[in-house]
Structure 1
């Protein structure tokens, strides 16, 4: 049997000299013996070969289809191509191929599918559970859980949808072999996975060391300094590689900076468009990196588990990841099949702030849970998510996160009927397990501290990572910053280049596209605004924000002026004048107005008047607050934000034709304040309104 498997391995890899890696055949053999196996092996070891070869052999013995659950459907193309070479037929059911579902179900029913790939989120779909899973349950040949650390509450990448997997396992025959795979699991996670999948599960664990990888840590707090260093060092590095950032905005800015410095770089994150010219943009970017058509892909965690480029020459982290597990998983993409690769960790002043954001937002707060359950309980026939937004001061993503959290509870206090959510009988007595939430949060804080310790570690860096991941035999690598300083990359940077990077950051102006429709029809009862679509003659023009709130560049200075000195500096006045000159809207604004505030009545008018004076334009404080309202930053969704602005502003101008106006505010959150004020200015005859803000306060963190 092993010889047959070896023949298939060589065919799949298109390599007549290929052989099994340590532990691969042992894992396959245990699956053929109908056991449950947990494989913990480094990235690139070949975990996908284990389940594809096991599937091939089981199918030849007459077993049913393999059900493969993975969060990586979009990144499994390479593995599926290898599987096809040995005659394995794979199908996937996901949200992008609805038109194929019926055909795939027919193929499953006639035993023509060897592997069905689904995401864990698919298990939440009632139609899938009833029409596909129920029919497969008694004839599953192999049950595979890819990236199994996601099943653990204690794992770095826990996903609530993975909880449903345990319920599915309980519904299938006990003699069905189960394979769980991961590259990133310490003892705590391994034990938790074992407790959920069965204590009789066999553990196959290998060394995590990657011998070709040269690790180096560089403490460089200033973003401008790090960007200068990247521009200097990346052209000298072998092959192509990845720069990881913690936020989308940093991925875009670092990419643009590298491009300015003649480096072929592309950005990759969750916010990039899904398709362009009929092709998946992410697939195109991945292929460009695989083919070495670009020098570097600047990515967030969206380029996550599953991406495999054996000859990747370097992985650089622009900021410190949240945990050792995150870091090992990402840096371990480099050096899989080359003799020399670099793993460089840069550390910045913003790292803790970003990590704290993710920790604080890991779980829905008790208040959100209470409000949603109460609102659903008070409704007659339940509520859809858009209906909840109308009655709850919660963002859509806050509602979605809370619903997902509640649906995977067992028993769940809510259920979905059609498009509406309703409470169940268990809702009245439901309580969040706060001790559990606190324990997870404490672990995240510990992981954060462990990364700080790694950053300052003076011993072998690879051995530190191995020990942190409970590798049974951590050993000095001989080639990291600590083991062999002679192998280090130069840690200095050119001051002139850093100054240019600082100037680039200060000129990273943010476009403010105009809102074109209200959240719902006829929302206004106290303003002369109506309808659903905003009439063309009431639209604002595209605006600009000088900075991102508290960000490198001008963001810190804006925050200092707003909350410490209660005055924005003349430096910011000059910066906005420079931004307007670079922006050059046409027709140009001929006068300046501003958004009033009862909380800071002098702050913005003082700035707007000084800006108008610097521009040689008149300042006209024509917008008045007609009534007090809540601060917009406390309004969590568009419906609540617009309703909060109804009847708030009066325009103290006689209706007639007015020249274009520059409308100034300090902060922009949702953009609705600018939208309402601009519509009112346009109503009295203003020919164009150009919004300008000092800072945009809506960062994306993925």
Structure 2
């Protein structure tokens, strides 16, 4: 008769093997933390679903790599890791390979390798497959590859799991697709979700979603203290962008190591990087607009300490792993203490001391409001979208939906992803279709999420002003029950960063921020599907009708001119003549334009909201530049094109059917070109979609202008 196995002996042997794998991964001195072991045991021995909420640098990736090694030794299939960022994937693959774990990735940058990867998975030659959340709803991947992966997976890991919850600070609709993946898993496949930034509400929501399709009703939640003993938190309140830039140039060289300077906008990152380089600091900009190869090179430069800092937007976020990162400085406050905690958590993982400094700006709240337009659309817009899809005879692309639903593309795509997760629509080859399933607009939940965002913004302002421990404040925002005063931050120690800046550096920063001018790229292609709006435009815009490259005084999100532009162009701002400083800025834009042929005349765009501002700007530029004032384009009706449309196709239809070059304007243009041929300036207050200026330029080109150069006060780009 066989003797029953001793569970204690089995557990001891399993832990010994787990420790061996950890040492292969992290070095001979590495030892499992108790919560790490608890999670590994739950996954490997009990095949449970677990959520680990632990601070950055705690070792969450060690849990799933060790569990992978143990599961593979048992003959289980590969681990599937849903991971949000390419930077995270690259770091994780490198870590896995050091431990002898064969890892591959499927993402948008390696499409040519997908088939080979699928074949190697089928042959059992892949231990870990990392997949971006967006890939989960790619029709081919979802229908052909995902079912096989789910059926054969030995472990499923959801990294940065707070993204699953719309209560989280970085909710991503694609992550909600994971619920369907979990529901379809065979019985007994363990699941691990990990995050460093989840409060109690998010933790509960994610744990509940992890139960989809599970035999056991409970998710194991391992939540640890969020203290980061290496971080020295501080705030330096400076009066204006000039002071903040000069502070950076003066103090970054004195902070040990290399690090990250976070900004709120793309334009701020690029502008700050240019200034710091001018001041002799070697830094690189890193944003969502940065080329992927340049991003990778920038990450490597920071990892190798070949630059002092990356000046980055939140595009450099989850998963970037540099243990000796010496500082994180924020030029402007994020909207949430939780996202702030996550970003500062990049620093000080492998060093005893790392500086964390917030340089808040008075304009931060304005920038938060500017980016606040990505909330879930109102019910009538959603219902309209569902009706359009229901009536369509074939799948509709996002471009075609834009001709029928008044949402910007990014917001439309976000809405479709949420509806897809809710089962109301489905992405298929060729676009989107309606499923016909009943769908309810959860007004109460959307309102509660919006209210939660507003509370987070108020809490961020409270963090700046707090007279108690800053680390304790952040930990309490994350509902850490062990939050206590850290004894290291500026409030605890009474040692605050100086706000004094060298007058020479301040002048250099002022001169830098005062440089006016940003390019405005011309539209080159009409939107797809304009025939659905009874507009006969398609394909490339003919060169003989195209606008030239334009200029704007600045981006509305700039940290220099942006402050003044946001004030002048605010919805409640009075319509007044352009002020002298702004006018002189535009004159300097003209002086440094570098055009091949100097303009000979000025035309104003018609404006329903700011006719005085635009008309005055055009008239004064005519006078100062000795250019012929030709008047203005006009609208067919006094009300202009009507209530502003938000997306590209509908805005073009509005402008195309309402904007005209009247007979008198056409005659003036023809007379000027006959006597003094040359380009025309086309003046407006702000360029957003670009279609008003595109159509205006085409009208003037038809009237005989050889070139039309748009000139605006602001562009919304960046």
TM-score, normalised relative to structure 1: 0.92
1:477 corresponds in structure 2 to 486
1:567 corresponds in structure 2 to 577
Matched length: 687
Cα 1:80–1:553 change in 2 (3 A) is: closer
Q: Name which of 404, 410, 414 aligns with 2:425.
A: 414
Cα 1:316–1:604 change in 2 (3 A) is: same
Q: Name which of 593, 618, 628 aligns with 1:583.
A: 593
1:148 corresponds in structure 2 to 161
C-alpha contact 2:238 2:244 (8 A) present in aligned 1:
yes
**Bigger Cα displacement from structure 2, 677-686 vs 302-311:** 677-686
Q: CA deviation at 1:204?
A: 2.4
Please say if 1:668 is aligned against 2:687.
yes
Cα 1:424–1:61 change in 2 (3 A) is: closer
Q: In structure 1, how many angstroms separate the alpha carbons of the residues matched to 2:291 and 2:371?
A: 24
Cα 1:266–1:551 change in 2 (3 A) is: closer
Q: Secondary structure at the match of 2:631?
A: coil
Q: In structure 2, how many angstroms separate the alpha carbons of the residues matched to 1:214 and 1:268?
A: 24
Q: Secondary structure at the match of 2:711?
A: strand
Q: In structure 1, how many angstroms separate the alpha carbons of the residues matched to 2:202 and 2:173?
A: 15
Q: Deviations over 1:292-313 (max 9, x none)?
A: 1111111111111100111111
Q: CA deviation at 1:322?
A: 1.7
Q: CA deviation at 1:104?
A: 2.2
Cα 1:430–1:131 change in 2 (3 A) is: closer
C-alpha contact 1:226 1:346 (8 A) present in aligned 2:
yes
How do 1:490-529 and structure 2 match up within 5 A?
Answer: 490-519=498-527
Please say if 1:241 is aligned against 2:225.
no
C-alpha contact 2:641 2:655 (8 A) present in aligned 1:
no
Q: In structure 2, how many angstroms separate the alpha carbons of the residues matched to 1:336 and 1:441?
A: 33
How do 1:22-421 and structure 2 match up within 5 A?
Answer: 22-33=34-45, 34-198=47-211, 200-274=218-292, 280-409=293-422, 412-421=423-432
C-alpha contact 1:9 1:49 (8 A) present in aligned 2:
yes
C-alpha contact 1:629 1:645 (8 A) present in aligned 2:
no
Cα 1:503–1:388 change in 2 (3 A) is: same
Please say if 1:652 is aligned against 2:666.
yes
**Bigger Cα displacement from structure 2, 509-518 vs 563-572:** 563-572
Q: CA deviation at 1:460?
A: 1.6
C-alpha contact 2:529 2:538 (8 A) present in aligned 1:
yes
Q: In structure 1, how many angstroms separate the alpha carbons of the residues matched to 2:621 and 2:149?
A: 68
Q: CA deviation at 1:357?
A: 4.1
Cα 1:192–1:608 change in 2 (3 A) is: same
Q: CA deviation at 1:569?
A: 1.8
Q: Name which of 19, 22, 30 aligns with 1:18.
A: 30
Q: Secondary structure at the match of 1:168?
A: helix
Unpaired segments of 5 or more residues in structure 1?
Answer: 275-279
1:277 corresponds in structure 2 to none
Q: Secondary structure at the match of 1:8?
A: helix
Cα 1:674–1:308 change in 2 (3 A) is: same
Q: In structure 1, how many angstroms separate the alpha carbons of the residues matched to 2:533 and 2:458?
A: 52
RMSD: 2.6
2:8 corresponds in structure 1 to none
Q: Secondary structure at the match of 1:483?
A: helix
C-alpha contact 1:221 1:347 (8 A) present in aligned 2:
no
C-alpha contact 1:73 1:118 (8 A) present in aligned 2:
no
2:544 corresponds in structure 1 to 537
Q: CA deviation at 1:632?
A: 8.3
